[in-house]
Structure 1
């Protein structure tokens, strides 16, 4: 049985690594994730202001809110999963993040819509603290928002990161439209327009509880494993089917200053 578990863990790591296995443009940074992939270093946009906080209500009193465009109603139905959609409308996305430290951002990404006269809201979070340390566990003391940061790829400054709720995980990727500014200064980003992409991965329905000590991107096997080598190493922009993710929808017009609480 022990040998079988070891094989399962190895296979899971190999599958996750397929995301950028053929990439030839990875940055040979000093940091690596558990599977050995190189990590593109974070670009620090603005000094952190406190510990940060995530938006927690559908009214979206903070952060930045824009229209969200689902790929299709079929995909939206699969994402919702808990109830059938009738004629949903007024899709919105709210991004409310704050820098924790080292260019990492925690907070919340919320996706809302109206259907049958009711307002629905899915709030996905990334913590602003660090993983608790336990003997025998991976990623002790690592920031909960370790993989959520701005990075340089394809001669532009992009952002990607993980967020989760009780039903599954999403990744958000921001890609500049048109020419983008360079350097580590925050001003070029504030003046830049971005297109956002949301990918989702629902957890497998199970009676087993999600560990309260690790987010799904730090879960190394089982139904709550939402890791993606692409998002972890920044070797590319979007997670793929090899990690179980599907494109949910896109958005434009986000205020980066408000969404990331940049001073």
Structure 2
């Protein structure tokens, strides 16, 4: 996937913690040490010829922090919708830098009067998925706590994953993402009303929410509605990735994935 323009996006992540002693100083000291075993993250994506091949070269970013005269409760703990603007919380590359080349940017963006703080993170989906980014962040957190050893040893070995023929020939799939953010609060008693022993909570919530959406937009009866969602596929790649500590992308694009209403 990193050889196509399919996932050349920066994923925005805001982590809110209720307390921390000198978080900016601690995180700034821990990150360089975490980047030693996770060396590909300390890079920048470049475009050698041919264009569809991508590789990282060293460079990363770590920002500073600011304090505000309010507590986390005053900003709803930064739940969606954000009371503070995203531009205030996330780190952005300077004008002379192409953000698509960036792999990882972090800043301890806000220190609240209550002792809590927020960390704004942007990571490239070209290099790793959510689980991989979480593994790296957990490693940095363990180092910040003073642990001498990482919780897991990172595994890169992306060369073990075969490239589909169309990608190796420079023909990226024609897939585009357009995200809309919606927040639903579904009480557990509502889930229990339609759940049975053969059905998981995920299945219930996904199906009912999708039924409501398709009905609300007035689709014609018997129209096939496609549903896509992110899932960990590492357990399906054991022959290629024998270790569980792989932190790169592990994504498969499904074909003809439908949910019939």
Provide the TM-score with structure 1 as the length reference: 0.23
Provide the TM-score with structure 2 as the length reference: 0.23
Which structure's residues are more often strand, by fraction? Answer: 1
Larger radius of gyration: 2
